[in-house]
Chain A
Amino acid sequence: MTLLRVENLSKEFGGVHAIEDLSFAINPGTIHSIIGPNGAGKTTLFNLITGVYTPTSGRILLDDHDIAGKKPFELARLGMSRTFQNLQVFFNMTALENVMVGHHLHLDRRFFPSLFRLPAIVRRDAEARAHCLELMEFVGIGRYADADANSMPYGALKRLEIARALAARPRLLLLDEPAAGLNATESREIDEVIKKVAATGVTVVLVEHDMKMVMGISDHILALDYGRKLAEGTPSEVRANDDVVAAYLGAH
């Protein structure tokens, strides 16, 4: 049983093939990495899977249901959540409020009880606050709980996005370059966070350039180049693949 299956997926931008005839599958409970040189189509692939872009052709199946063309908020309801390479933090809110927005789908969203602040809203909000604080501790940014998001350092914002995505209780979590812009120590800490998340049963898909991280934590790796599949397999298989080596170091 696969969680996510991509079949013959293509995406064109004005004649440019960002993704071309790509097929692969992701099994539940695994850490799956997507690698490739800059411009290989990794982020485009993420945007297609999460509904930010609509495919030109091909199918994306979640639990064997075609989800191509569904909107991101509909996919969130089906258990998909993500982070962004270029941060999409709510800078007009506090860190904790950012995470609480992540918990949106599990909260009481009725209009009139919200308007009159009925006890049911207050109680569930208090529970959500406690839960989101735990998530912030879990990713290691507990001390920023009451900070305004626009006053936080870059590394903490990266984790804030992970906490926000986790607050949605996803089955499938997509992380777009979680270690980009972080130093070596911070990257190792993110490693640990990702492993802990996977250990709770969440399937993780990540795009990452940090090869040490990718090789260290992935169960499965998909290598892309020019929107096409270059190689796929376990870390050791991909590392030994001649095409992958050529794409990264230049053909010789």
Chain B
Amino acid sequence: MMLSPRTGGLAALAFVVSLAPAFFPNAYFYDVAVNALFNAVVCVGLNLLIGYGGQISLGHAGFFALGAYGSAILTGTHGMSPLAALAVSAAAVGVLAFVVGRPILRLKGHYLAMATLGIGIIIHIVLKTESQITGGPDGIGVDPFTVLGLAVSGDKAWYWVGAGLLLFSVWTSLNLIDSPMGRALRAVHGSEVGAEVVGVDTGRYKVLVFTLSAVFASVVGSLFAHKNGFITPDIGSFFRSIELVTMVVLGGMASTFGAVVGAVILTLLPQMLASFEDYEAMVLGGIMMGTMIFMPKGLLPSLRAAFKRRRAAP
């Protein structure tokens, strides 16, 4: 039976994430794997904005951090249930992204990059300086995640939460891309004026996808806070935002599975390169430069194209 790329890819991803734990040599691997899954979910959302919508954000770690701090403060200081705190934080981040997105998404290219960078930096500074609420640079403790009295505890449990969330986000992302909304969004990337003259309100779509990707980041941020039990403002740093964009670009823009691959590789690579010790950062940088030079479309799209060529050859 032939599966469509959507169902086939989704089935393959489900297969990989459910079998992967069998190959984990020790419990520490679960911790790394959960981070990889969380990053992958953020990147699936960010890829909708960057890869499909053709926009850029250098401030998404800020939305991630807001989700994390929202959950930490609402559950810790105000005694809200974790699930409600996650939802309230995500809604608040969505509103914030919508409000700031409307003026800044009129900007293009470098100017948009600068504006989103500004948002990220402002969020980072606020989290650092409002120490009465956020605990300042020293960070803040977070209660465990509980649903109806049951606590999600241990890296194994978090792995399955992350895996489920990733499958759900990939599924919805693939659905969206192949819907009238998704085509309009990709058309905005292709030609804004071309999309406008057939009735696409390009400004609305840009704000919508910006908001959606911010909500993705916020939800993952909330879960990350509960999983870690302790967060500092540096989870919203500029460097984190750049890291997220790099994952999307490395894996392959406008490819949902590419974003997943990029996130997983860039989460695992520093662990695997740990044996290089002092040279770790240089090797990592070298790999990233090499990928962009030889595979400018990103890992997955380039490999897919090479595979097609080989199959087409006699």
Contact = CB atoms under 8 A, between A and B. Distances in A.
A84 B178 CA distance: 26
A52 B202 CA distance: 13
B195 A90 contact: yes
Interface in B141-188: 172, 175-176, 178-184, 186-187
A92 interface: yes
B198 interface: yes
Given A91-B190, A92-B190, A101 B179 contact: no
A101 B197 contact: no
B176 A114 contact: yes
A125 B180 contact: yes
Contacts of B194: 84, 88-90, 161, 164
B199 interface: yes
Interface of B: 172, 175-176, 178-184, 186-187, 189-191, 193-202, 208, 254
A104 B193 contact: no
A114 B196 CA distance: 21
B197 A76 contact: yes
Given A117-B175, A128-B180, 8 more contacts: A71-B201, A72-B197, A92-B190, A104-B198, A109-B180, A109-B181, A121-B179, A121-B180
B190 A114 contact: no
A92 B301 CA distance: 13
Nearest to A75: B197
Contacts of A81: 197-198
A90 B191 contact: yes
A76 B172 contact: no
Interface of A: 50-52, 71-73, 75-77, 80-82, 84, 88-93, 97-98, 100-105, 107-109, 111, 114-117, 121, 125, 128, 149, 161, 164-165, 167-168
Contact of A97 (B176, B183, B197): B183
A71 B172 CA distance: 31
Contacts of B182: 114
A101 B172 contact: no
Nearest to B191: A88
Between B178, B180, B181, B186, the greatest number of chain A beta carbons within 10 A of the residue's beta carbon is seen for B180
Contact of B172 (A91, A108, A115): A115
Contacts of A98: 187
Nearest to B202: A73
A152 B278 CA distance: 50
Contacts of A107: 180
A128 B180 CA distance: 10
24 contacts: A52-B196, A71-B196, A73-B197, A73-B200, A73-B201, A76-B196, A77-B199, A80-B197, A81-B197, A82-B197, A90-B189, A103-B180, A104-B200, A105-B199, A107-B180, A114-B176, A114-B179, A115-B172, A115-B175, A116-B175, A121-B179, A125-B179, A165-B198, A167-B198
A104 B190 CA distance: 15
B287 to A, nearest CB: 27
A122 to B, nearest CB: 9
Between B175, B183, B186, B254, the greatest number of chain A beta carbons within 10 A of the residue's beta carbon is seen for B183
A92 B183 CA distance: 10
B183 A101 contact: yes
Contacts of A115: 172, 175-176
A92 B189 contact: yes
Contact of A93 (B187, B199, B208): B187
Given A76-B198, A88-B193, A88-B194, A101 B187 contact: yes
A101 B200 contact: yes
A165 B197 contact: yes
A173 to B, nearest CB: 11
A100 B199 CA distance: 12
Nearest to B179: A114
A8 to B, nearest CB: 25
B77 to A, nearest CB: 32
Contacts of B193: 52, 72, 84, 88
A72 B175 CA distance: 28
Given A89-B190, A114-B175, A116-B175, A108 B196 contact: no
